[in-house]
Amino acid sequence: MKRQVCILLLSIGVLLLATVSQAQGTARLLTGNSNQDMVGRNETYRGNGKNDAIFRAQFSAPNRTVTAVEVSNTNGLRSVWDTRPNNRLWLGGVVIGGRAMNRPDGSVNFRLGSGQNTLDFFVEDNGSIRGGKTNYRMTIFFASGEPLVMNITPGGGSTGGDGNNLLINGVRFSLGHGEVHHGGWHNEVK
- DSSP secondary-structure letter at 189? E
Q: Is the pLDDT of residue 23 over 90?
A: no
Q: Is the pLDDT of residue 136 over 50?
A: yes
Report pLDDT digits (tens) over 4-18. 333 333 333 333 333
Q: What does the alpha-carbon distance between residue 73 and residue 125 come to, in Å, rounded to a whole number?
A: 12
Q: Of residues 32 and 90, which shows the higher confidence score?
A: 90
Report pLDDT digits (tens) over 104-123. 999 999 999 999 999 999 99
Please state the length of the chain.
190
3-state secondary structure of 131: helix
Q: What pLDDT shows up at residue 85?
A: 96
Task: State the pLDDT confidence band at 33, using cuts at 50, 70 and 90.
Answer: confident
Q: Which of 30-44, 75-89, 164-178 has the lowest mean pLDDT?
A: 164-178
Q: Is the pLDDT of residue 26 over 70?
A: yes
Report pLDDT digits (tens) over 41-99. 999 999 999 999 999 999 999 999 999 999 999 999 999 999 999 999 999 999 998 89
CB contact at 8 A, 142 and 61:
yes
- DSSP secondary-structure letter at 128? H
Q: Of residues 108 and 188, which shows the higher confidence score?
A: 108
Phi, psi of 127 (to 5 degrees): 105, -20
- The domains found in the chain, sorted by start residue, are 22-189 (2.60.40)
